[in-house]
Structure 1
């Protein structure tokens, strides 16, 4: 069977949507809209969105989305593999494997250091992906134990993100996540910050009209907060007060790494750390000469280094 791999073109969009709908069959197929949303991202590269043609018809698609990621305190060029979809008629025929291998070849030529994904442990390791490289890093508060947090100030307001907010939000993000391995630096466009699905709110928090933080969260579940950043300790407490008083839930979970500078903002509170690695959290080393990536993977495997924290951007909320 002759499989031709090439970059996607505008004429392929409808067929790519069909393939994702067929491959991820269900009442709601988030991958269809996720692919389209990622195309609007500031770092999207059409040459990394690949289709597989079989006898002249597109039968598979993979998207490698680029990110700037922190590793050892330095920016590392990386990509996320996914989604990948193959028409059910051609699954288990090598189409998916050809897409991944050709993608890896292009990534190496472009100078990317690593590829990461959440994927099936029985499939992706055959392409060099190492399991248990990341997973979950949360701190959890029981509402009843948050004695120090009383009513939120009337001065605290929540609103949607505006383009004029982005420079200040990026500065807060750098202070919050910039010292953590695998932290994905958000893009500097509005679509890299706002919510892409109705269940998720993406809000700037203000006090006396000044920005004090940002939270992207499931409005129905405060154990599902996707991103939380605050200007300082005082701002952290103010936003937590606001969230506490807006829920009837018994707990709140935040994506915070125990080694981050931001953990000091919570020193007055009782919290539990939930740091896990998952089989599905995988990394492939693309540049064998990059010692930072090699050392990270080896030390996490050996248990002498904590796994980093990946906070996915809003486009992935639809998956």
Structure 2
């Protein structure tokens, strides 16, 4: 085809930003994907080499981003890339350009030493490009907190906590708390690092709270949640089980302000292997599916992990997605 003969795949440059945004809007009919691309460029992990464009006759006709991550597997930290998003101009779709972009990205990521690529995507398209289903999952632990009236005193056997919005300078403390909560047990944990953009959502409807000790001297908990649904946190970190329960009481009071319920059932983003899950009584449920896929780029720990998960010897891992994906 003419367009294939004139096709050039290369890494993006700053001059491509407007064209990439236009491709994403044309492909999806909204600006969310182009905003995700822009937000991911702010990450300290971003590598412009791995943000690829398909150029036809000098025009950006397609784009794919492979975002680098440090990922926990089998007690070790490995290097992987997340494919998201990918977009092709409508007039060039179903011509193999997407596959060529992905293949080029795989080759480049492999050369840079990344072990695998992962994504959440179409279950019949991506397996043709080497992606394996059921590579990771989603995990929740349900916990019910009862209360009498909003604003009541916290239970006497729980630490007294206060809250404030996450602010500049909190990143290192929150990152340390994350490590205590997720490492080394939880497979597929995505290392958020210390940068504030990884802890505060770009979406004003999402609230990031630091929970402080009674004297206000120490951050002992963190929660990122949509303001309308505080019972379903996106990320939930606590120093220990007692702090976690005190945090849930404060969040329950927030929910109580929205209605007259006598109890709140939380769905906490906790993996069965997480320390905090056990301290809250266990019972975390992890589920996977044909949409949660990964593609091995070279022999690595991923192969052993994937074999154990599919043999039922190990629960699937649980990534908590970066704040860039919280726009909707």
For residues 35-87 of structure 1, what are the alpha-carbon distances to aligned partners after superposition, in whole Å with 9 as ceiling and x for unaligned?
10000001000001110011221100011111111111111001110001111
The counterpart of 2:190, out of the listed 184, 208, 212, is: 184
For residues 267-316 of structure 1, what are the alpha-carbon distances to aligned partners after superposition, in whole Å with 9 as ceiling and x for unaligned?
3xxx753310021100111112x1x2101111212222210111111111
Shift of 1:219: 1.0
TM-score with structure 1 length normalisation? Answer: 0.92
Shift of 1:168: 1.6
Matches within 5 A, 1:147-162: 151-152=153-154, 155-162=160-167
- Runs of 4+ displaced beyond 3 Å: 142-146, 150-155
Counterpart in the other structure of 2:17: 13
Please tell me whether the aligned partners of residues 9 and 53 of structure 2 are also in contact (alpha carbons under 8 angstroms): yes
Counterpart in the other structure of 1:175: 180
Q: Match of 1:224, SS?
A: coil
Shift of 1:173: 0.6
Matches within 5 A, 1:17-32: 17-26=21-30, 29-32=31-34
Query: Within 2, Cα distance between the matches of 1:163 and 1:285?
Result: 37
Structure whose alpha-carbon radius of gyration is higher: 2
Query: Please, which runs of 5 or more residues in structure 2 have no aligned partner?
Result: none
Query: Within 1, Cα distance between the matches of 2:232 and 2:25?
Result: 26
Shift of 1:145: 9.9
Q: CA RMSD in A?
A: 1.9
Q: Match of 1:318, SS?
A: coil
Matches within 5 A, 1:80-91: 80-91=82-93
For residues 192-238 of structure 1, what are the alpha-carbon distances to aligned partners after superposition, in whole Å with 9 as ceiling and x for unaligned?
11111022111111122121111111111135311100112221111
The counterpart of 1:263, out of the listed 277, 290, 294, is: 277
Counterpart in the other structure of 1:245: 253
Counterpart in the other structure of 1:4: 8
Query: Within 1, Cα distance between the matches of 2:319 and 2:147?
Result: 28
For residues 107-160 of structure 1, what are the alpha-carbon distances to aligned partners after superposition, in whole Å with 9 as ceiling and x for unaligned?
0000001111100001110111001112211101234599xxx84389532222
The counterpart of 2:241, out of the listed 233, 238, 255, is: 233
Query: Please, which runs of 5 or more residues in structure 1 have no aligned partner?
Result: none
Please tell me whether the aligned partners of residues 141 and 272 of structure 1 are also in contact (alpha carbons under 8 angstroms): no
Mapped pair 1:315 → 2:324: yes
Mapped pair 1:56 → 2:58: yes
Q: Match of 1:131, SS?
A: coil
The counterpart of 1:217, out of the listed 207, 225, 233, is: 225
Q: 178-187 or 40-49, which moves further after superposition?
A: 178-187
Shift of 1:8: 0.6
Counterpart in the other structure of 1:135: 137
What count of residue pairs does the alignment treat as equivalent?
309
Matches within 5 A, 1:61-80: 61-80=63-82
Query: Within 2, Cα distance between the matches of 1:45 and 1:317?
Result: 21
Closer, same or farther: CA 122–223 of 1 in aligned 2, 3 Å: farther
Closer, same or farther: CA 188–123 of 1 in aligned 2, 3 Å: same
Please tell me whether the aligned partners of residues 175 and 192 of structure 2 are also in contact (alpha carbons under 8 angstroms): yes
Q: 13-22 or 297-306, which moves further after superposition?
A: 297-306
Mapped pair 1:282 → 2:293: yes
Shift of 1:171: 1.3
Query: Within 1, Cα distance between the matches of 2:121 and 2:54?
Result: 20
